[in-house]
Amino acid sequence: MSHYQKPPELYEGLRLHQNENTGGCSPRVLEALAKLRPDQIGFYPPYAAATDAVAKYLGVAPDRVTLTNGLDEGLMALAVAYLRPSVGGPVFESIVPEPAFEIFRFDTAVAGGRLVQVMPKPDFSFPLNDVLAAITANTRVVFLTNPNNPTGLSMPLDAIRTIAQRVPPGAIVFVDEAYAEFARESFIPELAHFPNVIVGRTFSKAFGLAGLRMGCLVGAPDRMDPIRQAIPVYSVSIAAVTAVQAALTDLDHLNDYLRQVDASKALLYAACDRLGLKYWKSRSNFVLVSAGDRLDALVKGAFARGIYIRDRSTEPGCAGCARVGTGLVSHTRQFIAVMEEVLCAAR
């Protein structure tokens, strides 16, 4: 397993390569941060009020929510809790339907688990039978993402139910809902009936808080316990707990962004149609575009003009593809103009 290649630190141009909210957070977040007192920063942070606010937003009891320093921390803690082998015990397995968020692979390796990749179908429809066939007595985690990154596609909720019924006792099904706000769909209302499912959420994307690092895990307290033990006691900062509470008072800011994402996707699809590019209709704030043998020209041409998009061509099933953030309409228009210029020149 090669090491995770963190994207280079590019902040001068238009960042359409990490699925962030390029419009940033609600102004209420900045106001709340500015009001923090020196003693609040001097003390270890309290979590109850932020946990209550997040639980209310997600429609669950607070004891079902664990705040994490970004969902990334939740993923690592989950991998450590469920995949770390005991001395002399079996090597536990994680199942990852590809293409997927690459962190699942790296966290599995760090925790000492064995990765079982399920390769995609040509149309990226969810490979339920292949996932079921990959389950063994040593399966401990099935990593699902709904909607998926990098395809932007949703998976049927029924597939989650079926997998949850088929994994061995002691295993969990993890549903990464980093982009759930955009799809307006969640498995959270069903968690009471599926105690072996844990859902992950983040405030990095729709709420524009990526720089402050705030995510959470949602699930049955007893399944969450081993994960909680793998999370450093005060990993979430006072800035993050303050920010998330302020962000949750401004759902107008969220809804405006969601509307812009929908409009942006429609504009990008139309541009791809004009240029003869294949794309997948996304339920997220990005679109996977297949530029085929013009991919390099597109990624490098956009870069030269100060727009960053993510080359995903080495991910399973994604040859010739780039992932493009579709957030603020003005930013999408900027990208489309560059895409038209670059690809017309590359013909």
Cα separation, 286 vs 152, whole angstroms: 7
Q: Considering the rule CB under 6 A, would residue 178 count as an interface residue with ligand PLP?
A: yes
Map the footprint of ligand PLP across residues 210-249, applying CB under 6 A.
210, 215
Nearer to ligand PLP, 178 or 291 (CB): 178
DSSP 98-116: SS--THHHHHHHHHT-EEE
Which residue of this chain has its Cβ atom nearest to ligand PLP in the complex?
70
Collect all residues with Cβ–Cβ distance below 8 Å to 281 and sequence separation of at least 6: 152, 153, 265, 269
Cα separation, 25 vs 251, whole angstroms: 11
Q: Tell me which of 176, 181, 311, 315 binds ligand PLP, using CB under 6 A.
A: 176
Shortest Cβ distance from residue 286 to ligand PLP (Å)?
Answer: 9
208: left (phi over 0), alpha (psi -120 to 50) or beta: left
Backbone Cα Rg of the chain: 20
Cβ neighbours, 10 Å, residue 209: 26
Cα separation, 246 vs 230, whole angstroms: 28
To the nearest 5 percent, what fractions of the chain are helix, strand and coil?
45, 15, 40
HSE on the CB side for 259, CA within 13 Å? 6
Nearer to ligand PLP, 160 or 342 (CB): 160
Q: Considering the rule CB under 6 A, would residue 149 count as an interface residue with ligand PLP?
A: yes
Q: Tell me which of 54, 72, 76, 82 binds ligand PLP, using CB under 6 A.
A: 72
Q: Considering the rule CB under 6 A, would residue 261 count as an interface residue with ligand PLP?
A: no
Map the footprint of ligand PLP across residues 11-70, applying CB under 6 A.
19, 70
Shortest Cβ distance from residue 71 to ligand PLP (Å)?
Answer: 3
Shortest Cβ distance from residue 68 to ligand PLP (Å)?
Answer: 8
Nearer to ligand PLP, 113 or 215 (CB): 215
Whether the Cβ atoms of residue 204 and residue 210 lie closer than 8 Å to each other: yes
Q: Considering the rule CB under 6 A, would residue 108 count as an interface residue with ligand PLP?
A: no
Cα separation, 248 vs 64, whole angstroms: 18
Shortest Cβ distance from residue 37 to ligand PLP (Å)?
Answer: 27
Q: Tell me which of 151, 154, 202, 334 binds ligand PLP, using CB under 6 A.
A: 202
Size of the site for ligand PLP (CB under 6 A): 13
Nearer to ligand PLP, 43 or 234 (CB): 234
Q: Considering the rule CB under 6 A, would residue 315 count as an interface residue with ligand PLP?
A: no
Interface residues with ligand PLP (CB under 6 A)?
19, 70-72, 101, 145, 149, 176, 178, 202, 204, 210, 215
